[in-house]
Amino acid sequence: MAGVLQRTPTTPARAGVAPRRPPRRRAHVAVFVAPFFVAFALFFLAPIGYAIHQSFFRLTSSGLGLTEPVLEFAGLGNYVTALTDGAFLASIGRVLLFSLIEVPTMVACALALALLLDSARARFRAFFRVSFFLPYGVPGVIASLLWGFLYVPQTSPLIDVLAAAGLPHDFLGPDTILLSIANISTWQFAGYNMLVLIAGLQAIPQELYEAARVDGASETRIAWHVKIPLVRAPLILITVFTLIGTLQLFVEPLILKPLTTAVNSDYTPNLAAYNQAFGQANIHLASAEATLIAVMAFVISFGFLRLVNRKGNRAW
């Protein structure tokens, strides 16, 4: 019929074949995503690659060391040196023990605070939420200094109170320093992890709580049988974050080191790498130790995720 526009028949897309984008649209997409990939390559991949590259070299001096050191390829020599160093291996064992102490403590404290603030009987929620979160805003160095003063017998009112109660305590002794560091980490990060869990709790439909109360469930049973199972994903998230954080333990022992002889330059793997890089001027061995720390954190954190996601019960 004249005057009626005829539609051009379109070719149906073949099954399983994605439609091709016009060249102009692909160029626009490349312009928008290019800054991300450039920044990712420069500030994430390049430092990692440079550290790994440096770990395969070493400086050697000849004679009495009066000549310029020569940079030579060492292969896996720095890794062998690190893995046969008793002090470095002891530091790895120390942070693994610290993880066994800190991770359950942190998760239990954060979950308890979140459940208390999410309880129907909770009062002054905003005040306590801000109060528990405030330590997260304190830099790690300042937090370690604050608690360091409370651990030193000459300046600590806490030790005086415990001594007056007949409970003398040495917070900086060889047997207690790890617990003292765990206390600093828990104080600083429990509030942050609590907020993550509260966000998960607030996403639970209120109808589930009302149905449980109609069935006669107490607040304790609601928390155990409804809330905790439904915040499994946030619980796994804070567990992984805490696990990685404990393996990267650095600031607290570095600040407490001048206050006690229980902390040395190789107390944690990160301190050992820092000491090699800036104390011994051996950046190549430090790079190998840093790479080993990263691999250890990667294997343990992803091993944990694989463990909790087994049998199709996937949370992440």
> How far apart are the C-alpha atoms of 197 and 114, rounded to whole Å?
6
6 in a domain, yes or no?
no
Give the residue numbers spanning the domain of 171: 85-313
- Taking 50 as the threshold, does the pLDDT of residue 182 lie above it? yes
- Taking 90 as the threshold, does the pLDDT of residue 285 lie above it? yes
Of 291, 261, 287, 262, give the one whose Cα is nearest residue 274.
Answer: 287
260 in a domain, yes or no?
yes
> How far apart are the C-alpha atoms of 60 and 68, rounded to whole Å?
9
Instruction: Give the H or E element holding residue 99.
Output: helix 86-118
Measured between its terminal Cα atoms, the distance across the chain in Å is 59
Calculate the alpha carbon distances from 85 to 56, 78, 277, 285 in Å. Answer: 17, 11, 16, 11
Residue 61: what are its φ and ψ, rounded to 5°? -115, 145
> How far apart are the C-alpha atoms of 311 and 314, rounded to whole Å?
8
292 in a domain, yes or no?
yes
Dmax over Cα atoms in the chain, in whole Å?
106
Using 50, 70 and 90 to split pLDDT, how confident is the model at 41?
very high
Grouping H, G, I as helix, E, B as strand and the rest as coil, residue 56 is: coil
Q: What angle do CA 217, 218, 222 make, to 5 degrees?
A: 75
Q: What is the arithmetic mean of pLDDT over 157-180?
A: 88
Provide the mean pLDDT of the chain.
87
Grouping H, G, I as helix, E, B as strand and the rest as coil, residue 94 is: helix
45 in a domain, yes or no?
no
pTM: 0.83
43 in a domain, yes or no?
no
273 in a domain, yes or no?
yes
- Count: domains in the chain: 1
> Model confidence over 100-115: pLDDT tens digits?
999 999 999 999 999 9
Q: What is the arithmetic mean of pLDDT over 9-13?
A: 49
Using 50, 70 and 90 to split pLDDT, how confident is the model at 219?
confident
- In this structure, what CATH number is given to the domain that contains residue 286? 1.10.3720.10
> How far apart are the C-alpha atoms of 150 and 165, rounded to whole Å?
17
What pLDDT score does 166 carry?
Answer: 82
> How far apart are the C-alpha atoms of 71 and 59, rounded to whole Å?
5
16 in a domain, yes or no?
no
10 in a domain, yes or no?
no
Percent of the chain with pLDDT over 70: 90
